[in-house]
Amino acid sequence: MRRRRAGDGLAVDKRNLTNGAETGIKKVALKYCGGCNPGFDRVAYVESVKSAAGPVIEWVALDDEGFDTVLLICGCETACPRRSLDFSRYRQSVSIKNDKVSPRDLVKILLESEEANED
Amino acid sequence: MKIRTKEDYIKSLKDQKVVIYYNGELVEDRTAFPAFIPHINSAAKTYELALLPENEDLLTATSNVTGKKINRFTHIHQSVDDLIKKVQMLRLIAHETASCFQRCVGFDAMNSLYMTTYEIDEKHKTKYFERFVEYLKKIQEENFMLVGGMTDPKGDRSKRPSQQADPDLFTRVVEKRKDGIVVRGAKAHQTGAVNSHEIMIMPTQAMGEGDEAYAIVAAIPLDAKGVTLIFGRQTNDERKFECGIDAGNCEFGMVGGEALVVLEDVFVPWERVFMCGEIDFTGMLVERFATLHRQNYGGCKGGVSDIVIGASALAAQYQGTLDASHIKDKLVEMLHLAETVYSGSIACSAMGSKTKSGAYYPDPLLANCTKHNITRVIYDISRLAHDIGGGIMATLPFDKDLRSPVVGKYVKKYMKGVEGVSTETRMKIVRLLENMTGGTALVESMHGAGSPQSQRIMYQRLGKLGQKMKMAKKIAKIDE
């Protein structure tokens, strides 16, 4: 199944998730926009998210393999990478355009399992 | 070597021995010379940011000739998106340096040559494009810094190159050999020259019959025999030597560190020659280079203006005027102006088109409009910064006065603004504003990428005045 939700600069695009089911550690690929004129400190925000996630998320890059979920950090509403990258290749992509979503809530969204999405 | 990091970049500059004069003296080590370090730091950002995940989307690209991931400053634009990303990248880097970071000139030279050599070959059955692509691969692989060498000294502007009393006032070929050519002349105002690796010389204007020797494009290493660089003087340049508050922006440059590059009978092998005598393509090349370069200015100057606006707001805050309605209004005006110039760069990129070579090219009229606005808007922004910052910008005591055991207490006491902000902090922001809004920085906005008249000539050519007259006649129902 596939679901979308949006609001507060947050967009989630989900398909069936499998990664991390065995180990309890989820791999998430982190991708930033280029940062031409961001409205918030993207790096500081990501550090907060990483801190909130602790060891349950293993952060990788888009060039790596073995992840289901992509976290896209965009500095403004334009969200340039959504124009140039094909996110349909990934089972779940979560994109952020501001820092209104708390790091803790974002981690929850990233960790939501396949079962939790079957409603 | 392949340059990836700032350290690689500095080492590569150190390893290449270039003849550079500063204030009449030969510079032994360009990487350790205090007048050049800020410019090296600025250009180094083009390498450093490419390695950061939070910036690589703008600072890197995929090469159309090798398929490899490369620094965007060595990329040939393959789409409108590439053109837009170029502008976004320039604004981003300007936020880091508050100054010119120089590398766009070589970038624009590469793109204009890629599209123009393709068309020269198409007409003249030459092999320039093939040669140029080989050279491009080398730049992309080694990631070195290229000077875009267009501006000749030009001597008497009323005369053509071949009519000058001194024929070297335009760069020319003085000898053609079996293995290459010999070049003589000079390139003036060369941005980033003292901290680059090679220069791409190009004709400075459209050439006519009799000017064939001046229709020359060639890539020359800056350590080639016969190349001498003479660094240009800048406003308050020796403040950089002190590395203190008075420099305003000690770590980075004020402008691009421009130099006069003298070419005294420099030999260039044929594989580095990309035009030699094709006068019919000189106008096209100059126009393309100018358009690609004028495209940039709303990006880099927009980004630099963001720093000026922020510094102006801080200066107001530190003196207790930030909440005054007239200050807020002036800051709003500055924001409007900065976003206006940025809009121009984005617009000419968005309206870009594909050339025969496959490379993308910004809309030339809109790009010229963007640069023309810069010749006015940066002065307007600077004027507002001076208005907000106050006379203290012109009369502030020295950094050493602040630190003096005798008069330091007076500077601290009488130069203080609001409670909770130290005098030193206030001095730092005032000096930053002074550095960014006066002297050489303003002249660069006026003449960099061409003086305003050169843009107005483009309006006459591209502005479709006749079409506008027809439209007016139609609305007014005039038949004759």
Residues of chain B neighbouring A33 (CB-CB closer than 8 A): 57
Residue of A nearest to B58 (CA): A34
**B-contacting residues in A 73-112 (Cβ below 8 Å):** 73, 80-81, 83-84
User: pLDDT, tens digit, for every residue of B106-152?
Assistant: 999 999 999 999 999 999 999 999 999 999 999 999 999 999 999 99
- Percent with pLDDT over 70 in chain B: 100
Cβ <8 Å between A36 and B306 = no
Per-residue pLDDT at B471: 96
Is B95 a known active-site residue? no
Please give the C-alpha separations between residue B86 and each of B61, B78, B90, B91, B435, in angstroms, as whole numbers.
Answer: 10, 11, 6, 9, 26
Sign, CA dihedral B379-B385-B388-B391, equals: negative
Q: How far apart are CA B23 and CA B21, in angstroms?
A: 7
Active-site residue among B104, B250, B276, B369? B104
The shortest CB-CB distance from B91 to any of A37, A42, A46 is to A37
Q: How far apart are CA A40 and CA B195, in angstroms?
A: 33
Q: How many beta-carbon contacts under 8 Å exist across A and B?
A: 46
Per-residue pLDDT at A117: 36
Cβ <8 Å between B54 and A61 = no
Model confidence at A2, pLDDT cuts 50, 70, 90, reads very low
The shortest CB-CB distance from B54 to any of A37, A42, A80 is to A42
Residues of chain A neighbouring B88 (CB-CB closer than 8 A): 34, 36-37, 80
Q: Which residue has the tokens 């690589």?
A: B56
Q: How far apart are CA B403 and CA B419, in angstroms?
A: 20
DSSP string for residues in B155-214: SSTTS-GGG-SSGGGS-EEEEE-SSEEEEEEEEEEETTGGG-SEEEE--SS---TT-GGG
Instruction: Tell me the pLDDT of chain B averaged across its residues.
Output: 97
Is B100 a known active-site residue? yes
Residue of A nearest to B59 (CA): A34
Strand order in the sheet with B273-276: B146-149, B198-201, B216-221, B273-276
The shortest CB-CB distance from B54 to any of A35, A80, A83 is to A35
CA A114 to chain B, closest CA, distance in angstroms equals 29
Cβ <8 Å between B59 and A30 = no
Per-residue pLDDT at B130: 98
**Is it the case that residue B281 has pLDDT exceeding 80?**
yes
H-run or E-run covering B48? helix B37-48
Residue of A nearest to B94 (CA): A36
User: pLDDT, tens digit, for every residue of B309-325?
Assistant: 999 999 999 999 999 99
Among residues A39, A42, A41, the alpha carbon closest in space to that of A30 is found at A42
Is B116 a known active-site residue? no
Per-residue pLDDT at A87: 84
Whole-structure pTM value? 0.93
Active-site residue among B48, B119, B198, B258? B258
Per-residue pLDDT at A114: 42
Active-site residue among B100, B250, B276, B369? B100
ipTM: 0.83
Pick the more confident residue, A84 or B172: B172
Cβ <8 Å between B88 and A42 = no
**Is it the case that residue B178 has pLDDT exceeding 80?**
yes
H-run or E-run covering B463? none
User: Hey, of B54, B62, B78, B79, which one would you mutate to test binding to chain A, going by the most A CBs within 10 A of its CB?
Assistant: B54
User: pLDDT, tens digit, for every residue of A60-89?
Assistant: 999 898 998 999 999 999 999 988 888 888
In chain B the domains, ranked by start, together with CATH numbers, are: 291-475 (1.20.140.10)
Cβ <8 Å between A80 and B88 = yes
Is B258 a known active-site residue? yes
The shortest CB-CB distance from A30 to any of B53, B59, B88 is to B53
Maximum distance among all Cα pairs of chain A, rounded to whole angstroms: 40
Is B444 a known active-site residue? yes
Active-site residue among B74, B151, B191, B440? B191
Residues of chain A neighbouring B81 (CB-CB closer than 8 A): 83-84
- Report whether B207 contacts B156 (CB < 8 A): no
Hey, what amino acid is at B188?
Answer: A
Can you tell me whether residue A59 is helix, strand or coil? Answer: strand
Cβ <8 Å between B54 and A80 = no
